[in-house]
Amino acid sequence: MLDSLRRWRDEVGDTHGLGAARVVLGLLLFANALRAARELKVGYFGDFFHWPILPAPLVADHNLYAVLVISQVLLSAFVVAGHRARGALFLSATIGLYVLLCDRLQFHNNRLALFFYALILSFSPCDRAFSVTRVVPTATGPLWAARLAQFQVSFIYVASGGSKLLDPDWRSGRVLGERFILFGPGAVANGVPESVVKWVAHPDLASALAKIAIATELGLAVALWSRRTRILALWWGVWFHLAIEASSRVEGFTWLTLALYALFSTPDLRARKLYYDPFRWRSRAIARAIAWLDWLSRFEVKAWAPDRLGEGHGLVIVRRDGTLATGLGALTMLTRCIPSLFPLWAPLALAASFTRSGDAGART
Amino acid sequence: MFDLPPQARAPAALLWVLGQAALVLTAGLRADHIFSFRMFPEASTLEVHLSRVTRGFTLPAPRGEWAAKDEAGQLRHFSWRDRVRDPVLESVDVPVFASYGTDAQLARLQRALDDVADNIDQDDETLRLRADIRVSKNGRDPYAATLFSHLRRGR
């Protein structure tokens, strides 16, 4: 127990996942600050009905609030750029939480989550990758705060899934079914077929979907931590959040959670190799696209001098264990490691599991 | 400042975890359950009808609008939306989705009634505001609830 605590405390690893999460957080903080600025243009919240948690004298007046909103915009730029990003994250979180305490009408779970994650990441070496001004020349650093952010992801799943599990109306599907009924007309107006809306609002299906949602939230909280189940949990979680994004208004919560998923990836830098044939334009284009999309720096992308193995293959991937993959195997590997392709991973992995095609097998 | 020394990491993490647990476990103590990450807790609707209590009468305020005399006897116009800009609470006489649940919205409505009652200084007739609410919780048959603002100061 003490040993694992010590391991957690002293773990050091690659911080590209942290850097990627920081950039997304910065963009979401920027979007949040812009929203606040737009609302301020219409009127300062203190001039209308508001409900502070803080004592009234501690609530920001109009001028201070305007300064805070402008600061949030500027700080978010620092977070994205990676320049003094940790201080900027800390201040963004502090200002954001202060504003929530000034007016609980502005409270939304997604905003709270954004500020909590910003606060945690400010204690992580998230400025060592994707940064315009690197403070430290290496992209490795202590990962204890990244693990705390991962805990927060799971904690939110437990809090959300647990509250649903304890609510008979949620368990029975009544809440979900009624949501489909209430928001159905809007979905139909946005192009969703009426028959689909009616179908999902059916009590039996709503009940099944509610149970799936609860099981998903509680299951993800656990499955994300196991090496055996993590990849499937991440894939299922991605689609779960994309489905929520398509059906509900959750501001930036989908992208926030998906960005935090990057912390669950194994922090190994360029542990896989991608060789491409430099004499084929298609291979060059794919290699360039992969280098650009490889935000977690999983691949070392290299041109090769075509050899016997390369014949007929524009791309060959050398896996972490040294085995080679081409064709469908390589494509599956890419979808597994490239965040923007990850939603496609499971069906491809399933298809690949039925064939040895693309599995070159040999070790380098 | 942000690079905690190894000996401070475990206490900091423990403090964070305990803080999060406390926020979630005490959610029931807060009418709007904020800080507890209860996502999509209900699918309920509210329909608020406002009225104002004067000496001897309760007068409706359709769409949250009303006219009342000031101290000098001058007729003045008042609107609920002059003070209340929250997208849920500003909707009067129409059913509206109760985001974060009926408990949260009724608690907010009570505060809004008090706030508006405190900010209609030129209304010399109204003693207090009243909200009659049709609450439909998770698609069940609606029930009626009534909230009053506190008595306006000096009335």
| Model pLDDT for residues A151-198, shown as the tens digit of each residue | 999 999 999 999 999 999 999 999 999 999 998 888 888 788 888 888
Domain of residue A200, residue span? 159-264
A197 within a domain of the structure (yes/no): yes
Tens digit of pLDDT for each residue in A39-81?
999 999 999 999 999 999 999 999 999 999 999 999 999 999 9
Whose CA is closest to A143, among A153, A128, A156? Answer: A128
**Residue A278 CA to its chain's centroid (Å):** 34
Query: What does the pLDDT read at residue B1?
Result: 72
- Other C-beta atoms within 10 Å of A247: how many? 14
Provide, as residue numbers in chain A, all residues whose Cβ is less than 8 Å from the Cβ of B139: 174, 177-178, 181
Tens digit of pLDDT for each residue in A260-315?
999 999 878 889 999 998 888 999 999 999 999 999 999 999 998 766 555 667 88
Integer Cα distance of A364 and A356 in angstroms: 18
Let me know whether A29 and A128 are in one domain.
yes
- Considering only residues A96 and A9, tell me which one the structure prediction assigns the higher pLDDT: A96
A5 within a domain of the structure (yes/no): no
Let me know whether A54 and A100 are in one domain.
yes
Let me know whether A167 and A94 are in one domain.
no
For residue A294, the domain's CATH number is: 3.40.30
The partner residues of B66 in beta bridges, in order of sequence, read: B78
Tens digit of pLDDT for each residue in B14-66?
999 999 999 999 999 999 999 999 999 999 999 999 999 999 899 999 999 99
Between A and B, how many CB-CB pairs are < 8 A?
A: 100
pLDDT at A317 over 50: yes
A313 within a domain of the structure (yes/no): yes
Mean pLDDT of A208-233: 97
Integer Cα distance of A290 and A305 in angstroms: 19
Let me know whether A237 and A165 are in one domain.
yes
Let me know whether A213 and A314 are in one domain.
no
Q: What percent of chain A has pLDDT above 90?
A: 74
Let me know whether A57 and A136 are in one domain.
yes
Last residue of a domain, one of A236, A264, A292: A264
Last residue of a domain, one of A117, A142, A167: A142
Let me know whether A95 and A179 are in one domain.
no
Last residue of a domain, one of A142, A171, A200: A142
Whose CA is closest to B50, among B96, B93, B110, B109? Answer: B93
- What six digits make up the tokens of A235? 């894939």
Query: What does the pLDDT read at residue A357?
Result: 62
A148 within a domain of the structure (yes/no): no
The shortest CB-CB distance from A175 to any of B10, B42, B108 is to B42
Do A87 and A79 contact (CB within 8 A), yes or no? no
CA-based nearest distance B6→chain A, Å: 7
A4 within a domain of the structure (yes/no): no
Integer Cα distance of B96 and A328 in angstroms: 51
Number of domains in chain A: 3
Phi, psi dihedrals of residue A342, rounded to the nearest 5°: -60, -35
Q: Scanning every residue of chain B, which has its alpha carbon at the shortest distance from the alpha carbon of A11?
A: B6
Q: Does B26 touch chain A (CB under 8 A)?
A: no
pTM of the model: 0.93
**Residue A9 CA to its chain's centroid (Å):** 23
Query: What does the pLDDT read at residue A134?
Result: 72
Mean pLDDT of A90-106: 97
DSSP 3-state assignment of A361?
A: strand
A219 within a domain of the structure (yes/no): yes
Let me know whether A277 and A352 are in one domain.
yes
pLDDT at A360 over 60: no
